[in-house]
Amino acid sequence: MTRPVTVVTGGSRGIGAATCVRLASDGHDLALSYVRDDAAAERTATAVRGAGGRCVTVQADTSDESDVDRLFDTAARELGAVTGLVNNAGVTSPHGRLADADTADLRRVVEVNVLGVLLCSRRAARMMTRRKSGVIVNVSSAAATLGSPGEYVHYAASKAAVDALTVGLAKELGPDGIRVNAVSPGIVETEIHAAMGDPGRPSRLAPTVPLGRPGRAEEIAAAISWLMSPESSYTTGAVLRVSGGR
Ligand code: NAP
C-alpha cells in the first residue's frame, strides 16, 4: 500500500500543526506550508517525522498563485502524487466593527481565506481529477453561521464562502471520486487570538460554550483526520461543526 500524500496549508502552528502530526500517525506523508515562522515549521516537521511520516516544509503564501504551484510541485516531487489537501491556512484581523476596519485588513482576510482556498482547491482538483480520486478538507469556522458581530463580520463572511465552496465543489468533483468536506471549529486555543489583539478571548468566551471550555487543536485535528480517512468514504459536501455546541 502506498502512503497518502497530503498537503496541509498553514501547517506550522495551531490547528494545522496538530493536523499534520495526527495525519502522520494515521499513515500520511505531509507537505506543510507556512509564511513567516520557519522555526515553528521545523518543529512541526520534526514532530511529524517522530510520528512516522515523511515531511517537507514549504514557505508559500496560499493567496499567491505561483507559491501555490510551488507548494504542490514540491510535494509531488519530494513525496509523490498528492492524494489529499487540508485547506487550513486562515487569518483574522484586529477586532472591531466593520465601520472601523481597514481596507488592507479586509483585503488580506478575503485573499487568504477565500482566494487562497480557491487556488489550492483548483490545483488539487486538477491533479486529483486525473487520478480519479482524492480528499479535500476545508477548515471553516462556526463564525460562518454566527456572523461574529462586533468582532469580524468580514472573517465570518469569508468562512461562509468556504462553506459554499465545500458544498459546490463536492458536487462538482464527486463524479471524479473526489470527496470535499469542511470542519467548522468554534473557539480553539491557538495563537490566532493573540494575532488579532485578544489573547484572552478563548477563556473569556468559555462561558458561552455549552461544553464550558475552548477546544484544543487536537480535537479539531481528530475531526479532520476522520474526514480524510476511508472511514468517511460516503461523506462529501458536509460541514462538520466541532465547536463544543456553540
Ligand atoms: P494560527 O494558530 O494563527 O496558525 C495559522 C497557521 O497558518 C500558521 O501556521 C501560519 O503560518 C499559517 N498561515 C497564515 N497565513 C498563511 C498563508 N497566507 N499561507 C500559508 N500559511 C499561512 O491559526 P489557527 O487558530 O490554527 O487557525 C487555523 C484555521 O482554523 C484557520 O483557517 C482559522 O480561520 C480556523 N479557525 C480557527 C479557530 C480558532 O479559534 N483558533 C476557530 C475557527 C476557525 P506562519 O505563522 O508561518 O505565517
DSSP string covering 3-60: PPEEEETT-SSHHHHHHHHHHHHTT-EEEEEESS-HHHHHHHHHHHHHTT--EEEEE-
Are 142 and 243 in contact by the 8 Å Cβ rule? The answer is yes
Sorted by where each begins, the domain ranges of the chain are 5-242
Report CA(47)–ligand 1 centroid distance (Å): 18
pLDDT score for 196: 87
Q: How far is CA 228 from the centre of its chain?
A: 12
Cell numbers placing 140: 471553516
Ligand 1 residue neighbourhood (C-beta within 6 Å)? 9-10, 12-16, 33-37, 61-63, 88-91, 112, 116, 139, 141, 185, 187-188, 190-192, 195
Cell numbers placing 65: 498563485
- The mean pLDDT of 164-168, rounded to a whole number, is 98
pLDDT score for 63: 98
H or E element at residue 241: strand 239-242
pLDDT of 2 over the 90 cut: no
Q: How far is CA 230 from the centre of its chain?
A: 19
Q: If one looks up domain 5-242 in CATH, what number appears?
A: 3.40.50.720
pTM to 2 decimals? 0.98
Report CA(89)–ligand 1 centroid distance (Å): 5
pLDDT of 133 over the 90 cut: yes
Q: Which among 48, 190, 239, 242 is the best mutation to test ligand 1's pocket, defined by most ligand atoms within 8 Å of the CB? A: 190
Output the CA angle 51-54-60, nearest 5 degrees.
Answer: 115
